[in-house]
Amino acid sequence: MMEEDITITLPHGLHARPSALIITKIKDLNIESATITKDSTIINLKSILSMMTLGASQGTVIKVKAEGPDAEKALKIVKDVLTGKEGSFS
């Protein structure tokens, strides 16, 4: 299992478009589980509704965990999207 703390730098935080991009990019990866933890709330990384209702705004630190052969790739995708290195969201 791999995990990483990520600070969301997107101006509008984690909303529909970055959530959809993350799900689209990780859906075909070989991961057994993937979660985001904010405070004491743990959500499935493949659930757009859960991500959108997490309330993760700019500056929020989340913990992303992934397990499986492509766990490292999954973490990189999430980090790149939530730090603005991938995608364009206004």
pTM value? 0.91
Residue 36 bridge partners (DSSP): 43, 64
Q: What is the pLDDT of residue 85?
A: 87
- The pLDDT tens digits along the chain (90 residues) read 999 999 999 999 999 999 999 999 999 999 999 999 999 999 999 999 999 899 899 999 999 999 999 999 999 999 999 999 877 665
- Of residues 2, 4, 15, 80, which has the active-site annotation? 15
Paired tokens of 53: 């209702």
**Residue 80: what are its φ and ψ, rounded to 5°?**
-60, -40
- Catalytic residue list contains 12: no
DSSP 90: -
What are the structural domains of the chain?
A: 2-82 (3.30.1340.10)
Q: What is the 3-state secondary structure (H, E, C) of 31-83?
A: CCEEEEEECCEEEECCCHHHHHCCCCCCCCEEEEEEECCCHHHHHHHHHHHHC
